[in-house]
Amino acid sequence: MASNVSFDSLIPPPDEIIDTHKEYKIAIVCIFLGVLASLCVASRLTARFLSRSWGYDDWAVIPATAFYIGWTALAAYINLHAGVGKPLEEITVGEFSLWYKGVVVTTWLYPIMSATIRISILLFYRRIFAIANGAFMNYAIWILLGLQVAYIITFCVLPAFMCQQLHYAWDVYEHPLHCNDWYYFWSQIALYSASMAFDTILLFFPIIPVVRLHLPTIKRVGVLVIFMLGAGASIASAYKLAVFDIEMKRYEPTNPLWLTYRMSRYIPAQFDRYGYTFWIPSQVEPTVALIGTSLPALRPFLASASERVSQYFQTHITSRSTKSTWQTITPAHASGFVATNSSETELWDVSRSKSPRTTISA
């Protein structure tokens, strides 16, 4: 069997980079999601600026988006230059070293990025709910904000103990001797579990305040859905946690020739699908959070745009006779309304010929 042959008889890694089976799909997906979420945040900030409703949550989302853009750039770079998705026989030692460096960076970048996104969501909740719902809601938000700080500190300290010295983390040949991969596994499980727990709390946090609103049921459901989309990352984080747990416990490679290569003695079998099992879920989670948390700010503008589009089509679909009647209508037939232009409605009391006209800008 291939697993019983001598080490020297195994196929060594290539000395030069081979891109015959290089995969671009993962990088393209990550870049697309990154651009989409960034545009949503930019639109949200523009809307808040134009409406003069800028708040602390808008300031908080700026560093959160910066970390997210950094994550997206890292995902694209690693997937394009570290051999992710290529067969084992085409990946050089240098590419695997870069691959490990990417893994190390994510252990610090993910907790910072995810926490800053949640901080912006919590500040938005405080802006909307805290004053109207009493001290309890305000205290709950401040406690959750404090826990985000503890979350960052805890999960930025834990990765420092993965290896005896940090540089062993990306040294392909020395990594198995000086790094504890099970420590990495359980620390990441704790990280993703804590992240999922916080996201789940944020998912259900708006329910009670929204239910208390004096609005029709349909409108309350609509408002609740918009708020919950901001914390919808809990679904993505749950999927990511499940996939990470399953994949880290999988020892059988999908490539039947995996064990015939020398690098199979240093590289875990889980790396054969790493782009789909790590990078895609890790990109989807913050993307959903940033897009969801931007929707409430964009809702009035989207509603206004939808109304304008609807009015445009209604105007052009009406019959010519109706349009002609509207254009030639006189004050005596208009019940007090005279059409002036597209941006004004003129109110005119036709019962008094000498009364002044009042113009209201739309």
Alpha helices (H) along 5-126: 25-50, 56-81, 93-125
pLDDT at 329 > cutoff 60: no
> Sign of the CA dihedral 92, 94, 97, 103?
negative
Q: Which residue has the higher pLDDT, 355 or 89?
A: 89
143: left (phi over 0), alpha (psi -120 to 50) or beta: alpha
φ and ψ at residue 249, rounded to 5 degrees = -100, 5
pLDDT at 320 > cutoff 80: no
Q: Helices 134-157 and 181-204, interaxial angle, to 10°? A: 170
Pick the CATH number of 7-309 from 3.40.1440, 1.10.10, 1.20.1070, 1.10.3470: 1.20.1070
Confidence bin at 362 (pLDDT 50/70/90): very low
Q: Roughly how many angstroms between the first and final C-alpha of the chain, as a whole number?
A: 80
φ and ψ at residue 256, rounded to 5 degrees = -65, -20
φ and ψ at residue 361, rounded to 5 degrees = -75, 140
- The full set of domain ranges for the chain reads 7-309, 319-361
pLDDT at 94 > cutoff 90: yes
Burial class (CB in 10 A: 0-12, 13-18, 19+), 279: buried
Q: pLDDT tens, 285-309? A: 999 999 988 888 777 666 665 566 6
Between the alpha carbon of residue 323 and those of residues 17, 130, 240, the distances in Å are 69, 50, 57
